[in-house]
């Protein structure tokens, strides 16, 4: 029982060090639950591109931001709705 407790404590410490290191590198942890439609999109993107979760999320945010900056966010949203994505 004591060994399991120590192992859990060591794992928690290792995870904390990893999170702290990522913060020092200027990275931010962001996750959410995906709708069934988004899950299908995610799986297709992952299969075609072989990107990691991190790459998919980074690129999705960058594309959305680019659409916003170019005043095309409404067009992008409309296209997603029309194509049921």
List, for residues 39-71, the tens digit of each pLDDT value.
899 999 999 999 998 899 999 999 999 999 999
Domain of 16 in residue numbering reads as 1-30
On whether both 81 and 52 belong to a single domain, the answer is yes
Give the pLDDT mean for 30-35: 79
On whether both 20 and 47 belong to a single domain, the answer is no
Query: Is pLDDT above 90 for 34?
Result: no
Encode burial over 47-69: b for 16+ CB neighbours within 10 A, e otherwise.
Answer: eeeeeeeeeeeeeeeeeeeebee
On whether both 52 and 69 belong to a single domain, the answer is yes
pLDDT interval class at 29 (50, 70, 90): confident
On whether both 2 and 39 belong to a single domain, the answer is no
On whether both 85 and 71 belong to a single domain, the answer is yes
On whether both 81 and 42 belong to a single domain, the answer is yes
User: Helices in 25-83 by DSSP H: which ranges?
Assistant: 36-49, 53-69, 73-82
On whether both 26 and 44 belong to a single domain, the answer is no
Domains: count for the chain: 2
On whether both 41 and 79 belong to a single domain, the answer is yes
Least confident of 12-16, 31-35, 72-76, 80-84: 31-35
Per-residue pLDDT, 5: 84
Count CB atoms within 10 A of the CB of residue 38: 14
């Amino acid at each position: 029982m004591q060994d399991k407790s120590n192992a859990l404590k060591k794992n928690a410490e290792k995870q904390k060090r990893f999170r702290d290191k990522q913060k020092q590198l200027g990275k931010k942890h962001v996750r959410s639950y995906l709708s069934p439609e988004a899950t299908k999109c995610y799986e297709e993107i992952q299969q075609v591109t072989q990107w990691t979760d991190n790459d998919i999320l980074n690129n999705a945010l960058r594309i959305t931001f680019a659409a916003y900056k170019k005043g095309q966010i409404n067009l992008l949203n409309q296209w997603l709705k029309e194509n049921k994505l």
